[in-house]
Structures are given as structure tokens and as C-alpha cells.
Amino acid sequence: MVAPDFETHEVGNQVPPRTGVNLYVSDPVLAALVEDLPPPVVDSLTQHGAQWGSAEMADLARLANTVLPHLKTHDANGRRVDLVEFHPAYHALMRRSVGAGLHASIWDAVGDESSVRAVARGARIYMTAQVELGHLGPLSLTSATVASLGHSQPLAEAWLPLLRSRRYDSRPVPTGQKTGALIGFATTEKQGGSDLRASSTRADSMGDGTFRLVGHKWFVSAPMSDALLVLAQTLEGLSLFLVPRFQADGKRNPLKLMRLKDKLGTRSNAVAEIELPGSIGVMVGEPGRGVSTIAETVTLLRVDDALAAAGVARAALAEAVHVVRHRRAFGSPLIDQALMTRVLADMALDVTAATALVFRLAEAVDHSQDNPAEAAFARLMTPVVKYWVTKIAPAIVIEAMECAGGNAYVEDSLLARLTRDVLALPLADGPGNVLSLDVLRVLRRSPEPLDAVLKVIEDGLGSAARSTLNVLRAATAVALADEGSARILTEQLAMTVAAAALRRRFPSVIADAFLETRLGKPWRSTYGMLDARFDARAFVDYVVPRM
């Protein structure tokens, strides 16, 4: 081991930076999950991986999280402008991601990608999240809100051409002057986020097809969007409105940005508290049907949250493995020390399972239009997958930080940022209890979703599935009778479908190890519980190969 030399300032036993890694080529798990995609799509994913794994992108991500967004409420002459100013690095990240279609390609990808839109975009979200999570917020929101806009033909016709543009146009100007647009989503208020019925913002008809909205929203992740989808109370009940930044006559729509949240993580992106002091909006969908009009938007946001969480978990594992391959302690590289290998292998199992699970969900989203069983599978599994993957990702990131040692606790380390950022994912778009209640809601509505999920498990696990299916049926009956046990069912569904997804695409020993340690044994809450029957080193080298 080389000790520090105070004359030459050479540093020993420190780790070289992990940059210039193609995030696609270096990830056999992702490659296995998308191997059936048409070759031109795989080529485009390879290019995406090269771009986002570059030192330049790492630097942009670091800068965008160092110089934070700034709220500018007024101009020099005292006029309200309600703008958020971002570091140019944030705009550079947005430009690349809009160019790659992360805000729209699920709706309009053509050619080879047209039948695999959700999986292909999912792979790009998964790789991009490994580098910078914050800027993905407004892009996910734009992609997901298109589903709600589809409830109004005139609005869809007016906005879709701009939303589909691959040009990032951050100028706060009327839509007629824009070359591309983004849309945000504002439902949460001070007195309630999960319970939307508590919304107090009111919308009154102006008699000309527009509504005047008065009220507030408490968390707005894309305050610089060209329009917001806003829930507000009408005589008929909670309804959805599109509130553009500029009105039809080109005047600013009154919409006040009151404060930016001083957030724990995803700091590159602004989350604002806003007031609607008579903002003009147009209704989307039926009056009083706001909650059902946003249902598909919420579903798509949850799919993105899970994809991003799997990406962050992957990045953390890859970072930890990189460190322990280079760092020595007690006379040998850390990677060669039994306890370290076992911890990493155990984490690698969850990372592989989470990734297999999110891509199985994306596949179901792709087939939902023409395959009722896949649509039913996606209905039940979206809250399940969002629940499990966003919940295990923080545990993986924190364990990765421990593997990498004290340097990982310092802001220079990617792991420090990942640790803060990943904690947004379980909270946003439905926390764990709300997701578990949604699981029960889907189960109560019709038997098809559970049947579809059990069929996928049976196909994946074969004869091993028999007892598992009985356990799941029993857990379903218990959860339907006792709401308080819904998390148990949600977690079991997640892990069992993950095991089936592993069996489909990976060496059987991986699914075996996952099944035995996650489903065959009593509950475990920390990593390093894999026993010696499994080749821990082989797992680590398979999931994170040396490059």
C-alpha cells in the first residue's frame, strides 16, 4: 500500500473517478432485458449510454446541483415576472433529454421503436437517472400529462405538436412563439396531497368556455412549464384544468410563484409553491371527473418513478463496486474480502430484480393497447412496482455509501447526491400506504388483474409457483379483509413477480438466490444475508463487470 507522500503530494490507495463508462455497454442486466428490441433501437440505447456515461454529463449534473435554481418574482421595474432562473448546466441536461424524447417518445416514437416505446424510453430514463435525477421531473410530468390532455380533443390538437417537438425551448413566451413546450401537474395543496377531495382551489365559469381559478398549490415540480394541469373545485365537483402561462391574447396568465422549496434532494430542479389569483384555465375532460381524468397520468408518473429508482440503485451499486475494486484494506482489495463481496452480491440481487421488474412493467405498458391481460397486469403491478422499487432503492444507495467509505459522505461523491435525490421517489406520486390502498382498489374492482399477475408468476416460475400462488391468494384475501395488512401483500406481489421476471431473462441461479433469500426465509432488512451456497463474487462480476 502506498502512503501519502507529502513532498510529491502523490496519494495512495484512493480510487480513480468512474467516468467515461458507457451506461448501456457496461450493464449486462439492462442488455439482457432489452435484447429482443430491434437492433436500431439497441444502437440508439448504446449511444444514449455513451453520451450519459461521459465525463461531460457528469460535470453538467454536478454543476446543475451546485448552483441552485433561483426565484425571480419581479423585474427591475417592479412588474411581476414569476420566473425561475436555472444554471446553464440544467438547461444543457434538459436540451439533451428533450432531444432524446424523454418527454414525449412514449406517444410518438416511430419506425422500429413504435411497438416498444415504453421499454425503449424506459431504458433511457433508467440510464439518465443514473447521472441526474432532478431534471427528469419536468420531462416525466410532460410525458404523463399527455394522457390527461387526450380527454380534450381541441386541447390535444393545440398542444401536441409543441409537446412532441424535440427542441427544448425554455423561453417564457406565448405558445405561438415557441418551438417546444413542457407541461406540469399541480394537485397537492397545503391541507392535503393524498386526499384530493380536500382540494380548496375553486374554478368559476367565465361563460366563454374558460374558467377563473382562485387558490394555491403546494408542490409544483415544473414551475417553468408552458402550462400546468390543475385540479380545482367546480359546482360538479373536482375537475381538471389546463392553465397556460400565457393567455390566448398573448398576455401573461396571472399565476404567482410564491417560494421555491428548500429541498433535501433533486436540487437541480425547482419545486414551487404557487398561488392562482384568478388564473384563466380551460377544463380538461368531464366536469366533476378530475380525479379519473388524471388517473392515467398518475400511473405513468409511477412507472417513471420506478424506472428512475432502479437506475439510481444501479448507479449506486456500480459506484460501490468500482470503489471496492480499487481500494485496499487489511492487505488486500476490499472486493476480495468475504463480507464485502457478500454484501455487494446481496445488493446486486435486489438491483437485478428491481430492474427486471420495472422492465416487465414497461413491457406490459407497451402491450396494454391490444392485450387485455397485459393491461390488467399493468393496472395491478404499477402501484406494486412503484412501491417496492422506490422503497428498496434508498436502502441500496445507503449501503453503497457504506461500502465506499467516508469519501461517499462528501459532496464530491456521486453517492452523496444519489442518497439525497433517491428519497424523493418513494414520496412523490403516491407514498407507500397510498399505493397499497390502490392495490386493494384494483383488486376490489375486478378479478382480472390478480388473475393476470398470477398467470405471469406461474409462467415464470413453473412448478415452483404452486405454493407461492396459494400464499399470494391467501395474502390477498387477508388484505381485502384487513386493510392494515396491504403492505404485506404488495411486497409479496412485487418480489414474486420480480422472481418470475428474473427467471425469464437471467441465469437460473440468480432467480434461485432471490427466491430463497427473499421469499423462502423470514423477513430480512439489511444486506449481506446471502449464504455461502451462492457464489457471491460471480454475482457481483456478472452484474457489474470490470470494464
Ligand X SMILES: Cc1cc2nc3c(=O)[nH]c(=O)nc-3n(C[C@H](O)[C@H](O)[C@H](O)COP(=O)(O)OP(=O)(O)OC[C@H]3O[C@@H](n4cnc5c(N)ncnc54)[C@H](O)[C@@H]3O)c2cc1C
**Amino acid type, 340:** M
Q: Please identify, using beta-carbon distances, which residue of 38 and 431 lies nearer to ligand X.
A: 431
Q: Please identify, using beta-carbon distances, which residue of 142 and 476 lies nearer to ligand X.
A: 142
In the complex, the smallest distance separating the C-beta of residue 216 from ligand X, rounded to whole angstroms, is 11
Q: Which residue is nearest to ligand X (CB)?
A: 193
Residue 281 CA, chain-centre distance (Å), reads: 29
Binding residue (CB under 6 A) for ligand X from 433, 485, 535, 537: 433
Sign of CA dihedral 64, 68, 72, 75: negative
**Amino acid type, 540:** V
* Binding span for ligand X by CB under 6 A among 71-79, 342-350, 385-393, 426-434: 426-434
Size of the site for ligand X (CB under 6 A): 22
Instruction: List the interface residues with ligand X, window 74-113 (CB under 6 A).
Output: none
β partners of residue 230: 186, 241
Name 121's Cβ contacts closer than 8 Å, sequence gap at least 6: 101, 102, 105, 106, 109, 143
Q: Please identify, using beta-carbon distances, which residue of 150 and 431 lies nearer to ligand X.
A: 431
DSSP result, 324-360: HHH-EETTEEGGGSHHHHHHHHHHHHHHHHHHHHHHH
In the complex, the smallest distance separating the C-beta of residue 206 from ligand X, rounded to whole angstroms, is 24
Instruction: List the interface residues with ligand X, window 170-209 (CB under 6 A).
Output: 185-188, 192-195
Q: What's the CA gap between 180 and 165, in Å, rounded?
A: 5
Burial of 222 (0-12, 13-18, 19+ CB in 10 A): buried
Binding status of residue 68 toward ligand X by CB under 6 A? no
Q: What's the CA gap between 455 and 84, in Å, rounded?
A: 49
Instruction: List the interface residues with ligand X, window 221-240 (CB under 6 A).
Output: 221
What is the per-residue binding string for ligand X in 258-297, x denoting contact by CB under 6 A?
--------x----x--------------------------
Other Cβ atoms less than 10 A from the Cβ of 214: the count is 15
Binding residue (CB under 6 A) for ligand X from 232, 397, 428, 454: 428
Residue 280 near residue 243 (C-beta atoms within 8 A): yes
Binding residue (CB under 6 A) for ligand X from 52, 219, 377, 388: 219
* Binding span for ligand X by CB under 6 A among 287-295, 377-385, 422-430, 501-509: 422-430
Nearest to 232 by CA among 210, 260, 208: 210
Binding status of residue 424 toward ligand X by CB under 6 A? yes
Binding status of residue 215 toward ligand X by CB under 6 A? no
In the complex, the smallest distance separating the C-beta of residue 65 from ligand X, rounded to whole angstroms, is 14
* Cα end-to-end span (Å), the chain: 23
Residues at the contact surface with ligand X, assessed by CB under 6 A: 185-188, 192-195, 219-221, 266, 271, 424, 427-429, 431-434, 437
